[in-house]
Each structure stands twice: as structure tokens, then as C-alpha cells.
Amino acid sequence: MLKNDRYIRAALSQPVDKTPVWMMRQAGRYLPEYREIRAQAGSFMALCTNPELACEVTLQPLRRYALDAAILFSDILTIPDAMGLGLHFKTGEGPAFEKVIATKADVDNLFVPDTFDKLKYVTDAVSTIRKALNGDVPLIGFSGSPWTLATYMVEGGSTKNFGKVKGMLFEQPQVMHQLLDTLAKSVTEYLNAQIESGAQAVMVFDTWGGVLSTQNYQDFSLNYMQQIIDGLHREYEGTKIPVTIFTKGGAGWLEKMAATGADCVGLDWTIDIDEAKRRIGDKVALQGNMDPCVLYSNPERVRAEVGDILEKFGKGSGHVFNLGHGIHPTIDPANVEAYVNAVHELSEQYHR
């Protein structure tokens, strides 16, 4: 039994006493205690693959702030790594793969990894975190979207122009569809395994869907998120499991996202939340959507921004307060405290 179920209720558009709040990347480099554990682990992947250390960094922000949810500490690229592509992280350059997907033969050789085998460190971390939380707040599991995973797999790492992955999309669309289908099956199995291990909600991060045109977004990103949603446990052991999808740069496609059957749609900061509520708020809950850079300012400015977003959403259920993307590594933790406290203090009036 959850002692604080605000996040679950809000994601399912049910009434709450206050607007729940958490942050994407809330367990991360902006916290000095995280940096200490990261140094102790020796590498980012060593941290991710150690369930006890992953549990520790998941819990760190909850010790500082009155957050309404924990999110599994992991990385979106664990699935390609489990497929044998050799994930590693270059200092100052981000993720990279030893093997790159460039041909149909490369795609043919991919397989759907057995999560409880190849990714057992993730399911072990989920069960360890769930036990450590002791029902205080819910645990969110997550994955990258098929399109986002494909961008890294084809590009070999981070990219600015997406030339290789878009080249494959346009030149070999059937090969791209084959890759995305394999990834969608993998993500579905992966998220269901997280749910079976203790995750009480799940989220799909479509970080790079916004680089696509409208038709290509539908065909090569959203359709595969739809496939995942259709295959997920929406209820487990008698409890509903909220599903959130988030596309960075996806403001133009909110109606299409809401039509997938997801419980909640994440918003970046490029759309006002009142407009999003007008367009899809009667169909799904909304998550978001403060610009993470507001946290570079000061507590008073942070509080004012929180108040503005809450006022724009207005009265009623179905709002999970969050940033419009992940928190930046150089943010002052004191401003995060101001952010969390402001959401709880200022939102009560909208739930009476």
C-alpha cells in the first residue's frame, strides 16, 4: 500500500490533494552525493549495472526533497547494449557503441534480449528500489522509444544532424521498420519485466521524435510507441499501471499522442500547458512542463514560474508537475528544493 499515491492518481486523472511533482533525471549529476557514488563506482555503466548502487542514487533525491515519485536510475541505451552493440561512455562526449547498425544484415542479426537474463541488473535494481522505498512513493520504470534507440544505434552515438539514421529511413524504409519493430518488441518485454519486478508506473522517452516530419513521426516513432502501449501490463496484481509517453519537440502532435491510449502525455516547455489542456486534457493527464533552465535563476523566480504553470493548468485533476526535459548537471540543488516546495504549497488551492 502506497503512503503517498499522488503521482499514480494524477497520472490516471484522479483527484489529488496537491499536484504531485518529480523531475526527469532527478537522480543525477547536480547532486554532490551522486557524484561521490559515481566516482566510487568507477564508471557510469558500473553504476548502472550495480543494483545496490543504482538503488542508492535513486533514493538520494528523495532524502533531500519531498518528491512524489522515484524513478529507476538507469540509462535508455541498456537495450541496445543487451543486443551486443557494446555501449560505453566517452568522457565529455556521451554514449557510443562499438558496433553500429548500418545494413540490413546488421538488423537481421539483432535479437529481442531476454530481460531477466541480459538485463537482470535492471530488474534486480527495480526490486531492490521497490523494497527500499517501503511504500513511501511509487517507483517509475522507463525506456527509450524505438526511434530514439535507433538513432543512437545507427549513428553510433550522439548526433546533431541525424544524417545516418534519417538516411536509412529515407533510403531503406523497410530496414528501418524492421529495426523499429525489433526494438518495440524489446521495449515492451523490458517494461513488462520492470512492472513484474516492482515498477508501479512506466514512461517511454522519445527524446528525438521531434526531429522528424509529421508523417515520419507517425510512421517511424508514434506507431511503435503505440505497439508498446498495446503490449504493456496496464494492470498488475490488481493495481493499475499508468503509462506516460513523452516526445521532446512533440507539441504539434499532442492529439495523436493522446490517441495512443497512454494515460499521461509529457510536455516540453515549448507549449503552454493551458493550450495542451485545451487540446487533449480531457483525454489524458499532462506531465510538465517548466523549462529546466528556470532552475538557473533563484528561488523567487522558480516559485513564480511554478505558480504561472499551475495557474495556467487551473483547477482539476490530471496534472503531474515536471520539468520539460531533464534537469541540467550544473543546477544549484537549493533551487530544486524551492521548485518542489512551491509546487506543493501553491497547488493546494487548485484541488479544493
Active site residue ranges: 25, 29, 38, 75, 152
Q: Return phi, psi of residue 10, to 5°.
A: -65, -40
Enter the C-alpha cell of residue 56.
542508492
Beta-bridge partner residues of 286 = 265, 319
Burial class (CB in 10 A: 0-12, 13-18, 19+), 318: buried
Is position 215 annotated in a ligand binding site? no
Q: Assess whether the previous peptide bond of 298 is cis (omega < 30° from 0).
A: no
Contact 45, 89 (CB under 8 A): yes
**Alpha-carbon gap, residue 168 to 172, rounded angstroms:** 5
Is position 268 annotated in a ligand binding site? no
Q: Which residues of 89-127 are buried (b: 16+ CB within 10 A; e: fewer)?
A: beeeeebbbeebbeeeebbeebebbebeebbbbbbbbbb
Is position 303 annotated in a ligand binding site? no
Cα→Cα distances 64→32, 59, 111, 303, 333, Å:
12, 9, 41, 18, 9
**Alpha-carbon gap, residue 150 to 45, rounded angstroms:** 20
Among 325, 324, 332, 337, CA closest to 31? 332
Is position 325 annotated in a ligand binding site? yes
Enter the C-alpha cell of residue 197.
519486478
Is position 27 annotated in a ligand binding site? yes
The 8 Å CB, 24+ separation contacts for 310-316 are 310/19, 310/343, 310/346, 310/347, 310/350, 312/272, 312/273, 312/274, 312/277, 313/19, 313/273, 313/274, 313/277, 313/286, 313/350, 314/274, 314/277, 314/350, 315/350, 315/351, 316/350
Cα-Cα end-to-end distance for the chain: 25
Strands 239-240 and 235-236, by their bridges, are: antiparallel
Is position 75 annotated in a ligand binding site? yes
Is position 28 annotated in a ligand binding site? yes
Positions at the binding site: 25-29, 75, 152, 207, 325
Positions at the binding site for substrate: 25-29, 75, 152, 207, 325
